[in-house]
Amino acid sequence: MRELVARYLSQSISRRTFLKGMTSAGFSLTAANGILESLIPVAHAEDGAAAVKVVEGTGAECFAEQLVASGVKYIFGNSASEDAHFYEALVDRPQLKYILTPHEGPGAAMAAGYVKASGEPTIVMQAAVVGLVNAMGQMFNAYKEQTPLVFYSYRTDQSGRAGRDGFEEVANQEQIVQPMTKYSWLARRPDMIPETVRRAFKAAWTPPHGPTYASWHSDYNDERVRAQIIRQERVDPRMRVRPNPDEVQRAAKLLVEARMPVMIVGDEVYNAKAIGRAVKLAELLGMPVTQARQIYASYPETHPLWVGALPVGRLSSLDYPKNPDVVINVGNKLQHNSPNPMLGGDLKFIDMRIDSLSMGNIIPTDVPLVADVAHGLDDLTAAVQQLVTPALKDKAAARADETRRFHEKAKTLRDLVMKSPDWNRAPMIADRVTREVAQFADKDAIIVHEAGSVALHGFEFDPERGRDLFFYYGAHLGSGVGTAAGVKLARPNRQVICLVGDGSFVFGPTALWNMARLELPVITVVYNNHAYSGPHSRVIEKVPGGRMVQTGQFFHDYLGNPDMNMALIAKGFGVEAELAHSPEELRAALGRARKSTADGKPYLIDAQVARVGVAWADKPWTPPIRVAQERTRKV
């Protein structure tokens, strides 16, 4: 109750959430309402006073107060002795929940997962530069994927040790992160801690989103100061931009006059909760919809205008339509992995995004629409509606009909994957594991996907009414398990399934311990082929017919001999787990996983997957390094 009152008074939760929490805690609705009524005068007083207030206390207390004012509920951190006064401040601020993560990387991934799934702010804390560099892999991911994640770590104390190249000190610590943050800053005095924190949150959460970093000398946390604390809504520029109306008219004209328009969707659609708007525009024009690789599924894959994701990141790789003349991108960053542009040929390009910095850099743009895509879609749809004539309606209907026929045919053809002659083999092919999980998953399951060499099929993602996807494209590996833990923390009432490759899994399994401790019932399925199969194939493509292939000596890809047992690793972190070798074993294991999660416990399945690819041997060669044999003393 104490915590609920504190959170209500700090405006961390709504009246409704307060009442729900109180009734869950055993209070009757009448009693909860009575308590709420008694709090209203206090809340109003706080409302006026606490939007901007002056706090006296240690620098760390001011830090904590500003986090509350910035809307933070969860803090993800790894132990840092110089943050002692901050931990002290937490004791009397139960509305701030500190989650100890045993490694900064998966800890930051967990924070990022929480931010993505909740839309709520959080902060990742590390010990000085030594902890920071552990977290920087996920900082890179947050930068590439435009996740608004705030990082903090202290520098060596100003009063005693700074500048001597001593313990845990490096020069210009804040500069290390500059290429992969939107903002990195150093508080110059203890009383500037709240201001620095505010700026970090403002920069991270002002579109286009991205990570930020704040730092100060550790002894600033210990000093007593008087500082202003300002709530987020008083510093947030509320950047929800409408597009230029002239450009909207140009875009609408291009779309209605198009022979075959195509829409590419992306993460900004998901983040703006604008999927319904994207569907409306597509339906109005009978326009096929696709998506280049992003984090989320931003269009219902069951919708008849959905023609599938771009298979190799190029529009021309789509089977349908083959001849678009106008392309509109709504909210996709269009990250290029090839020297060639994703869009080629003679077509008109409309680019609607809030991320103006990345527009027009690679693909020549006919109509730029810098906007919050929810507003942009509303305005563009209205403009198109103004231009639609009966003849254009007929044209759109015919296009929609043709697209629907392709959609249905494509679904049938995709399901042919189950006709593989290896469908029932053990160890399993990855496609079998995928399809078993797709058939097992709840209709509104959330799939966290970090199995980079695995293409998902059979899930039919539909974020607004069905299954949700959390993929990645930052590609610092080891994010999957942490992300899944963070997603479950944010959405405890949805089934969360983490699909992860063995290579990715061993980069970041420590969040399993958080799943066990916090009772985050996530199901993790490891595709374990004891190899880095992506790098294996790419190396051969770069050196076809070379010495590696001739001799079978691949130095970089085989993770067996000895095989890693992911189930035993999970058990070491307190998560129940098992191996599954065959489709039958996998199905049975998934049943046990469902029961375990219903009981509130996470579960891991180490699914044994066949190594498939050019030049894989049954027992791959490993470099002949055996130190024990070279010893002269048996010690």
User: Which residue, 292 or 350, is less far from another protein as judged by CB?
Assistant: 292
- Nearest-angstrom CA–CA distance, 532 and 553: 15
> In terms of CB distance, is 416 or 635 closer to another protein?
416
Task: By CB under 8 A, name the one of 53, 457, 494, 571 that touches another protein.
Answer: 457
441 binds another protein (CB under 8 A): no
- 332 forms part of the interface with another protein (CB under 8 A): no
CA torsion, ordered 340, 346, 352, 354, to nearest 10 deg: 30
Which lies closer to another protein via its Cβ, residue 518 or residue 612?
Answer: 612
Q: Does 540 bind another protein (CB under 8 A)?
A: yes
Smaller CB separation from another protein, 545 or 624 = 545
Q: How far apart are CA 480 and CA 471, in angstroms?
A: 9
Residues 218, 434, 495, 597: which binds another protein (CB under 8 A)?
A: 434
Cα separations in angstroms, 471 against 112, 291, 337, 500: 12, 13, 17, 10
Contact between 618 and another protein per CB under 8 A: yes
Using rule CB under 8 A, residue 537 touches another protein: yes
For another protein, the binding residue among 132, 187, 192, 309 (CB under 8 A) is 309
Is residue 549 part of the contact set for another protein (CB under 8 A)?
yes
What span, in angstroms and rounded, lies between the C-alpha atoms of 505 and 106?
10
Segments of 266-340 assigned E as strands? 289-291, 326-330
Instruction: Confirm or reject binding of residue 533 to another protein (CB under 8 A).
Output: yes
User: What is the nearest approach in angstroms of another protein to the Cβ of residue 428?
Assistant: 12
| 207 HSE (CA, 13 A, CB side) | 18
Q: Which stretch binds another protein (CB under 8 A): 3-11, 32-40, 334-342, 514-522?
A: 334-342
Single residue of 59, 308, 480, 482 touching another protein by CB under 8 A: 308
Count Cβ atoms within 10 A of the Cβ of residue 338 and give its class: 0-12 exposed, 13-18 middle, 19 or more buried: exposed
Query: According to the binding rule CB under 8 A, does residue 163 interact with another protein?
Result: no
Q: Please select the residue that binds another protein; options are 452, 463, 480, 583, rule is CB under 8 A.
A: 452
Smallest distance, another protein to C-beta of residue 319, A: 5
Dmax over CA atoms of the chain, in Å, equals 90
Output the six-digit token pair for 517. 């401790």
DSSP 326: E
Give the residue from 414, 442, 451, 444 showing the smallest Cα distance to 590.
Answer: 442
Q: Could you give the 3-state DSSP secondary structure of residue 52?
A: strand
Instruction: Please pick, from the candidates 193, 214, 429, 496, the single residue that binds another protein as defined by CB under 8 A.
Output: 429
Dihedral angle over CA of 279, 282, 285, 289, nearest 10: -160
Q: Which stretch binds another protein (CB under 8 A): 2-10, 51-59, 372-380, 425-433?
A: 425-433
Should residue 422 be labelled a site residue for another protein when binding is judged by CB under 8 A?
yes
Which listed residue (541, 624, 626, 631) binds another protein by CB under 8 A? Answer: 541
Q: Peptide bond preceding 311: is omega within 30 degrees of 0, i.e. cis?
A: no
183, 270, 573, 616: which one binds another protein (CB under 8 A): 616
Q: Give the separation between CA 265 and CA 279, rounded to whole angstroms.
A: 10
Q: How far is the C-alpha of 16 from the C-alpha of 184, rounded, in Å?
A: 37
Is 545 among the residues that bind another protein (CB under 8 A)? yes
Does 339 participate in binding another protein (rule CB under 8 A)? yes
Q: Using the rule CB under 8 A, is 297 a contact of another protein? A: no
Least gap, CB of 361 to another protein (angstroms): 17
Q: How far is CA 457 from CA 111, 416, 428, 506, in A?
A: 28, 11, 16, 24
Give the angle 152-55-3 at the CA atoms, nearest 5°: 75
- Report the residue number, 129 or 441, with the smaller CB distance to another protein: 441
Identity of the residue, 208 or 458, whose beta carbon is nearer to another protein in the bound complex: 458
According to the 3-state scheme, what is the secondary structure of 63-90? HHHHHHHCCCCEEEECCCHHHHHHHHHH
Which residues here bind another protein, judged by CB under 8 A? 293, 308-309, 311-314, 317, 319, 337-340, 409-410, 413-414, 416-417, 419-422, 429-431, 434, 452-455, 457, 475, 533-534, 536-538, 540-541, 544-545, 549, 552, 610, 612-618
